[in-house]
């Protein structure tokens, strides 16, 4: 491939020292993810997918191997530099949305810009936050607080927050875990739209039907890569949603 990978994991190991027992959570994972990809990382609990997620998200450092994010060797950075990398290169979307309560949508989306090394002026912050909210279809609800929004809407705010610093990578940890199936499809639709605009997305999930909206699925077992394959007969969120609505309509008519 002509372009350089966004994520370049080679022989990544992570060992936790808890008391007398060493827990070998990740045992030699090598993985390249290129710009524009949409990858699902799957696995049962204890497969090491959460640990791998934290490593990719620069929240944690590997105990062995090399990790290059956008060409930067992340494995050797200190806490502050890791925070900077997270701020500039990664947008997080969590299962529990993790919005600041009693803080409206725009201010939640503006929050990462508070920590930018290069300062963004106040009105520019607001402009960028609003345009990100527009992107996820929440423009009209910019001044709503999280408790005035549905789960799906809260997750959209979280996605807008993840996008506001124009990261190289959107990292989603079970983004549909707290949502019903229709809302889950809507959120996957947002991801597919963003991916269509060239944003690289890595998503951890244990739901097989959610993984079918991505382009590539990596399955982990016991801290190692079991399979790594492109998704055949990929689902299209818009199409699925239309079908679902038709089905609901049919039920109502009957």
Partner 1 sequence: MRILASLRIAARALRRNKMRSVLTMLGIIIGVGSVISAVSITTGATRQVEDKVASMGLNVIQVYSGNFTSGGMRGGWGSAPTLTVEDTKAIQNEVDGISAISPEVRDREQIMANGLNWNTQTLGESPDFAQIRNWDFAEGSMFSDQDVRTLAKVAVVGKTVTDQLFPNIDPLGQIVRIRDIPFKIVGLLSPKGFNLWGQDQDDVIIIPYTSHMRRVTSRTFVNSILVQAASEGLIPKVQDGITGVLLARHRSLDQDFTVRNQVEIMQTATATARIMSVLLGAIASVSLVVGGIGIMNIMLVSVTERTREIGIRMAVGARARDILVQFLIEAVTLSAVGGIIGVVLGVIATRIVAAATHWPTVTPLIWVGAACVSSALIGIISGFYPAWKASRLDPIEALRYE
User: Is 111 a binder of partner 1 (CB under 8 A)?
Assistant: yes
User: Is 98 a binder of partner 1 (CB under 8 A)?
Assistant: yes
Find the binding residues for partner 1 in span 138-167 (CB under 8 A): 161, 165
The residue written with tokens 């491939």 in the block is 1
> Exactly one of 54, 155, 184, 195 binds partner 1 (CB under 8 A); which one?
54
Query: For residues 172 and 191, is the Cβ–Cβ distance under 8 A?
Result: yes
Between 107 and 186, CB nearer to partner 1: 107
The residue written with tokens 């549905």 in the block is 150
> Exactly one of 17, 21, 79, 254 binds partner 1 (CB under 8 A); which one?
79
User: Is 87 a binder of partner 1 (CB under 8 A)?
Assistant: yes
Both tokens of residue 61?
A: 């450092």
- Largest interatomic CA distance in the chain: 63
Residues 6+ apart with CB under 8 A from 241: 182, 185, 186, 189
- Distance between alpha carbon 189 and the CA centroid of its chain, in Å? 14
Query: For residues 25 and 53, is the Cβ–Cβ distance under 8 A?
Result: no
> Exactly one of 24, 35, 60, 72 binds partner 1 (CB under 8 A); which one?
60
Between 161 and 216, CB nearer to partner 1: 161
Query: For residues 232 and 243, is the Cβ–Cβ distance under 8 A?
Result: no
Cβ at position 215, least distance to partner 1 in Å: 25
Between 66 and 83, CB nearer to partner 1: 83
User: Is 102 a binder of partner 1 (CB under 8 A)?
Assistant: yes
> Exactly one of 32, 84, 209, 238 binds partner 1 (CB under 8 A); which one?
84
Collapse the DSSP code of 129 into the 3-class scheme (helix H, G, I; strand E, B; otherwise coil) and give the result. helix
Neighbours of 227 (CB within 10 A): 10
Query: Which positions touch partner 1 (CB under 8 A)?
Result: 54, 57, 59-60, 79-80, 83-84, 86-88, 92, 94, 98, 100, 102-103, 111-112, 114-116, 119, 161, 165
């Amino acid at each position: 491939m002509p372009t350089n990978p966004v994520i370049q994991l080679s022989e990544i190991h992570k060992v936790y020292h808890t008391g007398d027992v060493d827990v070998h959570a990740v045992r030699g994972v090598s993985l390249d993810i290129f710009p524009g990809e949409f990858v699902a990382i799957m696995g049962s609990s204890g497969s090491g997918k959460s640990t791998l997620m934290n490593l990719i998200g620069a929240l944690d450092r590997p105990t062995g191997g090399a990790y290059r994010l956008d060409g930067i060797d992340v494995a050797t950075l200190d806490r502050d530099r890791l925070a900077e990398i997270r701020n500039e290169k990664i947008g997080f979307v969590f299962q529990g949305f993790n919005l600041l309560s009693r803080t409206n949508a725009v201010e939640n989306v503006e929050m990462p810009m508070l920590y930018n090394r290069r300062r963004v002026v106040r009105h520019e912050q607001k402009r960028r936050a609003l345009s990100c909210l527009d992107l996820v279809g929440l423009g009209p609800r910019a001044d709503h607080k999280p408790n005035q929004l549905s789960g799906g809407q809260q997750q959209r705010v979280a996605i807008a927050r993840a996008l506001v610093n124009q990261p190289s990578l959107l990292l989603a940890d079970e983004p549909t875990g707290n949502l019903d199936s229709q809302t889950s499809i809507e959120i996957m639709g947002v991801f597919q739209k963003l991916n269509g605009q060239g944003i690289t997305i890595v998503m951890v999930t244990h739901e097989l039907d959610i993984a079918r909206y991505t382009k590539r699925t990596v399955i982990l077992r016991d801290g190692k890569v079991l399979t790594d394959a492109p998704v055949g007969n990929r689902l299209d969120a818009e199409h699925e949603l239309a079908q679902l609505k038709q089905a609901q309509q049919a039920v109502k008519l009957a």
